[in-house]
Structure 1
Amino acid sequence: MNAYGLLLLAILSEVFGSSMLKATNGFKKLLPSLGVVIGYGIAFYALSLALKTVPLGMAYAIWAGLGTALTAMVGITFYKEKFNRKKFIGITLIIFGVILLNFGRVH
């Protein structure tokens, strides 16, 4: 798997772990709690491997931006959190920000 594939794995694992946090009920439920630990474990391991190639600033911008946008979408989809124009604009700006950072990277 290449570095950006590892970064994507890290992001998806982090989103899974973060999404499980809500279901843990303060770490009182075992399976969601294990989901948090496993999700974050895979996320940080995959991120550490991606950082062998991807510059730290770029990796973190992609990680934070896409992770935030995807986590917001999980909240809307699975936890029935409200979705409105402000959230849509915010998620859109995050995604465009990550795209702009990728266009601005120096080779």
Structure 2
Amino acid sequence: MLKIYLILLLAVLCEGVGSTCLQASQQFTRFWPSVGVVAGFGSAFYLMMIVLKYMPLGITYAIWSGLGICLTAFLGWLIFKQGVDLAALIGMTLIIVGIVIINIFSKTATH
């Protein structure tokens, strides 16, 4: 099962790259960042498809999107110097807490 979580984590990383490239592409007017969008999101969805063979859609998507939100906010701060206020940090902390609760207490997290 650890392998499936690693694949899901890789999907989240690819989604973070795709989202970051989306900002950098300047509405698809820059070639290489635009390629990064397609490669990042394409890889993310392919890897998520693999995970869906072993985990239910709702749980997979909750983990993927929740971690993706946090990673994308971090990359926006790191690369583009976009600020994140206290309310956003609290919200993202609650997202992470929700993911932890799902994985520790939910019996639907795996098939």
Q: TM-score range by the shorter chain?
A: over 0.9
Percent identical pairs in the alignment equals 44
- Residue 54 of structure 1: aligned partner: 55
- Residue 19 of structure 1: aligned partner: 20
Gaps of 5+ in 2: none
Structure 2 contact 25–31 (Cα < 8 Å) conserved: yes
Gaps of 5+ in 1: none
| Displacement after TM superposition at 1:76 (Å) | 1.1
Q: For the residues of structure 2 that align with 1:33 and 1:11, how far apart are their CA atoms?
A: 18
Structure 1 contact 13–43 (Cα < 8 Å) conserved: yes
**How many pairs are equivalent?**
107
Scaled by the length of structure 1, the TM-score of the pair is 0.93
Q: For the residues of structure 1 that align with 2:45 and 2:24, how far apart are their CA atoms?
A: 21
Aligned to 1:2, the other structure's residue is in SS state: helix
Scaled by the length of structure 2, the TM-score of the pair is 0.90
Q: For the residues of structure 1 that align with 2:22 and 2:9, how far apart are their CA atoms?
A: 20
Tell me the amino acid that sits aligned with residue 86 of structure 2: R
How big is the alpha-carbon RMSD for the aligned residues of Structure 1 and Structure 2?
1.4
Post-superposition Cα deviations, 1:72-104, rounded to whole Å, max 9, x if no partner, equal 111111111113211221111111111111123
| Displacement after TM superposition at 1:57 (Å) | 1.4
